[in-house]
């Protein structure tokens, strides 16, 4: 019998900014798999674990924060929520709004959102506005609308509620491993995830649930790496659409996570990201969306440069499910054999016949 009922209904509720009267708008998010990667461990000489956040209800880590944001929005009487998104936030906001019985409006950059994510928001009944601009334009408009109209902004920027929910990934990792890892790698786009994950580790350390803190290694796509270069990118460009952000809304928090932890912020190419994306599916059996593979690409890049000390325990966040972006999955094409329905013909096609 499944006894997991979502973050707000779990023991982690004590770490969330809710009251005994806060309703739990939940899809049973959290409690995602933490899988050891034998392939990455053997390749790097480290003990490498994958936190598979694509196993959340809408297929990404965004659900951790959205359960808290929507629960508090409902408690406050909000009837409409709004967000800017490159895809995953819009899918999550739309699903949790539907669960709560409130309206959702999502602003997305036209032509820059994977259809798998857009289709989720459509099916959950959100009002979708495609803006002729970048994610940063969408974020600016969403903030201005929330300031002047009766809508609740549910992006992580300025939203401690969302970040508090996303911190739970660190709690789960420490509880599963018995201690914080030496290094935590993750993709960085808008900056909220690395900020929240670092905050989660710090919370557990202060509470005596961990005795150390990990180094936070954030990786951006080379064509969208404002935190690496120290300045906004006017026209970010990467096929890893979930991290195609030129001016991260949680800039300061992301930078602080890297600096305070003794970690780093680095860039990896789209070629490295997609190589890691294919490797995860082919060697670990984990189908993650391309942006999720940035942390793996970054780890492999560090190893190739001789900048990775062996023997470390490393956790990598895989932020979203591969089904979010099927176009990316088929961009390399695929091979198949056509044959009749005769068993002998199929055996020959498979190389099983003499």
**CA atoms of 328 and 114, how far apart (whole Å):** 9
Tell me the torsion sign for CA atoms 341, 346, 348, 354.
Answer: negative
Nearest to 104 by CA among 124, 87, 119: 124
**CA atoms of 41 and 36, how far apart (whole Å):** 8
Cα distances from 62 to residues 91, 94, 323, in angstroms, run: 9, 11, 15
Determine whether 10 is exposed, middle or buried from the number of CB atoms within 10 Å of its CB (0-12, 13-18, 19+). buried
Q: What is the pLDDT of residue 44?
A: 98
Q: What is the pLDDT of residue 249?
A: 84
For residue range 236-286, what is the model confidence (pLDDT) as tens digits?
A: 999 998 899 999 989 999 999 999 999 999 999 999 999 999 999 999 999
Q: What is the pLDDT of residue 155?
A: 80
Cα distances from 59 to residues 191, 311, 320, 322, in angstroms, run: 19, 31, 6, 9
- Mean confidence (pLDDT) of the chain: 93
**CA atoms of 20 and 122, how far apart (whole Å):** 33
For residue range 221-234, what is the model confidence (pLDDT) as tens digits?
A: 999 999 999 999 99
**CA atoms of 181 and 327, how far apart (whole Å):** 34
């Amino acid at each position: 019998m499944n006894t997991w009922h979502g973050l707000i209904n779990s023991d982690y509720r004590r770490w969330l900014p809710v009251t005994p009267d806060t309703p739990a708008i939940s899809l049973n998010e959290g409690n995602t798999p933490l899988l050891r990667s034998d392939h990455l461990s053997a390749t790097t000489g480290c003990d490498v674990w994958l936190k598979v956040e694509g196993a959340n209800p809408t297929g990404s880590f965004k659900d951790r924060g959205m359960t808290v944001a929507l629960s508090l929005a409902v408690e406050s009487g909000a009837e409409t929520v709004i967000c800017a998104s490159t895809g995953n936030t819009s899918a999550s906001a739309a699903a949790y709004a539907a669960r709560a019985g409130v309206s959702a409006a999502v602003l997305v950059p036209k032509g820059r959102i994977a259809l798998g994510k857009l289709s989720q928001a459509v099916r959950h009944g959100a009002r979708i506005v495609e803006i002729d601009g970048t994610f940063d334009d969408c974020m600016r408009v969403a903030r201005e609308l929330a300031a002047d109209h009766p809508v609740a902004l549910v992006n992580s920027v300025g939203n401690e509620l969302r970040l508090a929910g996303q911190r739970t990934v660190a709690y789960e990792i420490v509880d599963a491993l018995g201690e914080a890892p030496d290094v935590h790698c993750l993709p960085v786009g808008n900056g909220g995830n690395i900020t929240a994950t670092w905050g989660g580790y710090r919370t557990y350390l202060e509470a005596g649930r961990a005795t150390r803190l990990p180094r936070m290694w954030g990786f951006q796509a080379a064509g969208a790496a404002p935190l690496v270069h120290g300045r906004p990118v006017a026209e970010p460009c990467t096929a890893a659409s979930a991290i195609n952000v030129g001016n991260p809304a949680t800039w300061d928090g992301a930078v602080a996570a890297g600096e305070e932890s003794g970690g780093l912020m680095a860039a990896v190419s789209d070629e490295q990201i997609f190589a890691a994306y294919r490797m995860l599916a082919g060697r670990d059996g984990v189908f993650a969306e391309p942006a999720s593979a940035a942390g793996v690409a970054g780890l492999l890049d560090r190893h190739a440069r001789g900048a990775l000390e062996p023997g470390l325990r490393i956790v990598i966040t895989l932020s979203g499910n591969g089904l979010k972006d099927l176009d990316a999955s088929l961009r390399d094409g695929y091979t198949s054999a056509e044959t009749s329905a005769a068993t002998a013909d199929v055996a020959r096609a498979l190389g099983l016949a003499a």
